[in-house]
């Protein structure tokens, strides 16, 4: 395969914009980040392919903003695989589509059991697409040729894959469903801002005691600040397991922290003063965290039977009905209706349960028209049935 070159100048980028604008058909777009290596989720390579134009590999840090390209192609259909993974980093550099075709999401709607790009390409196009560089550090410069070949293939096959999947959607009567889902992806809030992001610390639920929790919080915040400063993935400095171990142990001094075998990581000793400072802050603060974060988080479904048995009955009845519908339509249950939406409606249902009132509740929680049409009557029936006691259930002849 021919060598690939990266466009890393403004002049080269502007020439590419003209060529892409002169092409025909949808625009295939992909982006590579350095997740697991860098703190930021910025794009370190953006790939674009269009029939009649060719393949273009851009270096975003070198090019800067992509406003000219966006102006040229914003109204065209963009083809992406798992669009929600790339839209945020594309928008950061000025690339914001108005229409998309998400081949990964479409494959889910078709009921395909495995929807990774390599698997779908092989099944529908008969092409083996190696994925050995998917977890590479794309902030590396210069980028190795094998990585660039891999990156180019990702977009060069997307238009053909889009056409194959579109035909299957038509055959299955799911074209309108897919279009509603694609439109929803473009309006979805992809960047979740958490009020207490430190609660994402892996293993935090095993920490007992408010003081220990305060130490975990200070360690997480200190690591996050250092990771941001160095543009390094936090886990590459000190893993979550090490922070959790230190929070549980509550060492009495810096020497005890250094002696803690579970406190590992490449920065665990070089930044020992920092970590000890965080532990001291957590040990002495009067701002102790609450055991649970603020917000309107529902209790886990396993606790519903004790805390709200009526809601538990509604949820189980509706979930059973939707599971059957999911299998009948070959659409994954989480795509038919998100579990969070079903839980919220089951926990706090309308005062009067009808298909219309359930439809309004689903719409309020962001369900798409096709989801509401497919599920509202079924959910209403399940809720009503779950509320009936055995005495209220009509007897049938044996």
Instruction: Check which CATH number belongs to the domain holding 377 and give it.
Output: 1.10.150.80
Measured between alpha carbons, how far apart are the two ends of the chain, in Å? Answer: 73
CA distance 245 to 11: 52
- Same domain for 45 and 126, yes or no, is yes
Q: What is the pLDDT of residue 169?
A: 98
Residue 1 lies in a domain: no
How many domains does the structure of the chain reveal? 3
- Same domain for 31 and 92, yes or no, is yes
Contacts of 240 (CB under 8 A, 6+ apart): 201, 202, 203
Residue numbers of the chain with a pLDDT score lower than 50: 1, 293-294, 391-398
DSSP-assigned letters across all residues of 326-392: HHHHT--HHHHS-HHHHHHHHHS--SS--HHHHHHHHHHTT--HHHHHHHHHHHHHHHHHHH--TTT
Query: Are the beta carbons of 180 and 368 closer than 8 angstroms?
Result: yes
Query: Are the beta carbons of 278 and 254 closer than 8 angstroms?
Result: no
For residue 101, what are the β-bridge partners? Answer: 79
Contacts of 251 (CB under 8 A, 6+ apart): 257, 259, 260, 279
- Same domain for 36 and 105, yes or no, is yes
Query: Are the beta carbons of 135 and 36 closer than 8 angstroms?
Result: yes
CA distance 323 to 363: 20
- Same domain for 277 and 309, yes or no, is no
Q: What is the pLDDT of residue 191?
A: 65
Q: What is the pLDDT of residue 192?
A: 60
CA distance 29 to 73: 11
Residue numbers of the domain that contains 108:
10-187
- Same domain for 35 and 73, yes or no, is yes
- Same domain for 384 and 265, yes or no, is no
Q: What is the pLDDT of residue 279?
A: 98
CA distance 235 to 248: 18
Residue 395 lies in a domain: no
- Same domain for 162 and 25, yes or no, is yes
Query: Are the beta carbons of 98 and 26 closer than 8 angstroms?
Result: no
- Same domain for 342 and 277, yes or no, is no
Host H or E run for residue 226: helix 210-230
Residue 398 lies in a domain: no
Domain boundary among 187, 209, 244: 187
Count of CB atoms situated within 10 Å of the CB of 173: 9
- Same domain for 31 and 68, yes or no, is yes
- Same domain for 179 and 205, yes or no, is no
Q: What is the pLDDT of residue 297?
A: 77
Residue 349 lies in a domain: yes
Instruction: Check which CATH number belongs to the domain holding 120 and give it.
Output: 3.30.420.10
**Minimal CA–CA distance to 48: which of 72, 24, 29, 26?**
29
Query: Are the beta carbons of 276 and 294 closer than 8 angstroms?
Result: no
Place of tokens 């919080």: 217
- Same domain for 246 and 336, yes or no, is no
DSSP-assigned letters across all residues of 272-308: HHHHHHHHHHHHH-S-PPPSS-SS-PPPPGGGHHHH-
Residue 291 lies in a domain: no
Q: At what angle do helices 83-92 and 175-187 cross, to 10 degrees?
A: 40
Residue 38 exposure: Cα atoms within 13 Å on the Cβ side: 15
Q: What is the pLDDT of residue 393?
A: 44
Residue 292 lies in a domain: no
Count of CB atoms situated within 10 Å of the CB of 330: 12
Residue 294 lies in a domain: no
Residue 270 lies in a domain: yes
- Same domain for 142 and 268, yes or no, is no
């Amino acid at each position: 395969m021919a060598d690939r070159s990266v466009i890393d100048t403004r002049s080269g980028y502007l020439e590419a914009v003209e060529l892409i604008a002169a092409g025909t058909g949808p625009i295939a777009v992909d982006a590579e980040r350095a997740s697991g290596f860098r703190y930021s989720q910025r794009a370190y390579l953006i790939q674009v392919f269009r029939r009649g134009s060719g393949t273009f590999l851009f270096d975003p840090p070198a090019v800067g903003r992509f406003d000219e390209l966006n102006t040229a192609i914003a109204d065209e259909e963009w083809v992406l695989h798992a669009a929600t993974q790339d839209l945020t980093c594309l928008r950061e550099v000025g690339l914001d589509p108005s229409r998309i075709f998400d081949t990964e999401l479409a494959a889910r709607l078709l009921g395909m059991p495995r929807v990774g790009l390599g698997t779908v390409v092989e099944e529908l196009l008969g092409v083996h697409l190696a994925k050995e560089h998917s977890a590479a550090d794309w902030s590396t410069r210069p980028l190795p040729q094998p990585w660039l070949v891999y990156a180019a293939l990702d977009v060069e096959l997307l238009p053909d894959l889009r056409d194959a999947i579109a035909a299957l959607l038509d055959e299955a009567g799911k074209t309108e469903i897919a279009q509603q889902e694609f439109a929803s992806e473009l309006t979805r809030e992809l960047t979740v801002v958490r009020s207490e992001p430190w609660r994402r610390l892996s293993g935090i639920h095993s920490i007992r005691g408010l003081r220990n929790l305060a130490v975990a919080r200070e360690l997480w915040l200190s690591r996050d600040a250092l990771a941001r400063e160095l543009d390094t993935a936090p886990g590459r400095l000190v893993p979550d397991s090490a922070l959790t171990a230190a929070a549980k142990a509550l060492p009495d001094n810096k020497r005890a922290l250094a002696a803690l075998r579970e406190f590992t990581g490449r920065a665990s000793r070089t930044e020992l003063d920092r970590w000890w400072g965080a532990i001291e802050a957590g040990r002495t603060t009067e701002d102790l965290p609450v055991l649970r974060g603020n917000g309107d988080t529902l209790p886990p479904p396993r606790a519903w039977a004790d805390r709200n048995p009526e809601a538990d009955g509604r949820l189980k009845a509706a979930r059973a009905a939707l599971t059957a519908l999911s299998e009948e339509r070959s659409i994954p249950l989480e795509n038919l209706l998100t579990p969070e939406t079903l839980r919220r409606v089951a926990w706090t249902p309308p005062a009067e349960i009808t298909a219309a009132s359930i439809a309004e509740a689903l719409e309020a929680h962001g369900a798409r028209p096709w989801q509401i049409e497919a599920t509202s009557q079924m959910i209403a029936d399940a809720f009503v049935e779950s509320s009936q006691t055995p005495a209220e259930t009509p007897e049938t002849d044996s």
